[in-house]
Amino acid sequence: MRVEKCYFCSKSVYPGHGSAFVRNDAKVFRFCSSKCNKNFKMKRNPRKVRWTKAFRKAAGKEMTVDSTIEFEKRRNVPVRYNRELVETTVKAMKRIAEIKQKREHAFWKNRMAVAREKLKAHRKRKLEKTSVKLVQPITPQAEKVKEKIKVAVKTRSALVAGEGRSMGMEID
Amino acid sequence: MIGLKGTLNVIDNSGALLVECVNVLKQKVNNGWGSVGDEIVCVVRRARPISGQASASAPKVRQGDVRRAVIVRTRKAVRRPDGRFIRFDDNAAVLLNNKREMLGTRIGGVVSADLRMKGWGKIVSLAPKVV
Distances (CA, A) of A110 to A61, A63, A116, B49, B88: 11, 11, 10, 67, 44
Summarize the confidence of residues A142-159 as an average pLDDT: 76
Name chain B contacts of A1, Cβ cutoff 8 Å.
Answer: 82
Q: Is the Cβ pair B82, A20 closer than 8 Å?
A: no
pLDDT digits (tens, 9 = 90+) for B2-24: 989 999 999 998 889 999 999 99
* pLDDT reported for residue A1: 80
How far does B50 lie from chain A, in Å, by closest CA? Answer: 27
pTM, full prediction: 0.72
* pLDDT reported for residue B60: 80
Helix (H, G, I), strand (E, B) or coil at A85: helix
Q: Domain segments of chain A: what residues?
A: 1-62, 64-132
- How many beta-carbon contacts under 8 Å exist across A and B? 42
State how far the Cα of A95 lies from the Cα of A90, in Å rounded to an integer: 9
Q: Which residue type occupies B77?
A: A
* pLDDT reported for residue A133: 72
End-to-end CA, chain B: 19
Query: Is residue A15 within 8 angstroms of chain B, CB to CB?
Result: yes
Distances (CA, A) of A121 to A33, A109, A128, A133, B118: 44, 18, 11, 17, 71
State how far the Cα of A116 lies from the Cα of A165, in Å rounded to an integer: 91
Name chain B contacts of A23, Cβ cutoff 8 Å.
Answer: 89
Summarize the confidence of residues A35-44 as an average pLDDT: 94
Query: Is residue A21 within 8 angstroms of chain B, CB to CB?
Result: yes
* pLDDT reported for residue A172: 60
Give the pLDDT band of residue A169 (cuts 50, 70, 90). Answer: low
Is 60 exceeded by the pLDDT of residue A168? no
Tell me which of B62 and B31 has the higher pLDDT. Answer: B62
* B12, B107 contact by CB (below 8 A): yes
* pLDDT reported for residue B58: 60
* pLDDT reported for residue A136: 81
Q: Which fold has domain A1-62?
A: Ribosomal Protein L24e; Chain: T; (2.30.170)
State how far the Cα of B98 lies from the Cα of B93, in Å rounded to an integer: 15
pLDDT digits (tens, 9 = 90+) for A118-136: 999 998 888 888 777 777 8
Give the pLDDT band of residue A162 (cuts 50, 70, 90). Answer: low
DSSP A4-44: EE-TTT--EE-TTSSEEEE-TTS-EEEESSHHHHHHHHTT-
Count of alpha carbons within 13 angstroms of residue B71, beta-carbon side? 32
Is 60 exceeded by the pLDDT of residue B54? no
pLDDT digits (tens, 9 = 90+) for A63-116: 888 888 888 888 889 889 999 999 999 999 999 999 999 999 999 998 888 888
Q: Give the distance, in angstroms, between the CA of residue A102 and the centroid of all CA atoms in the same chain.
A: 14
Domain B6-51+58-130: CATH superfamily, name plus number: Ribosomal protein L14/L23 (2.40.150.20)
* A31, A8 contact by CB (below 8 A): yes
State how far the Cα of B60 lies from the Cα of A15, in Å rounded to an integer: 43
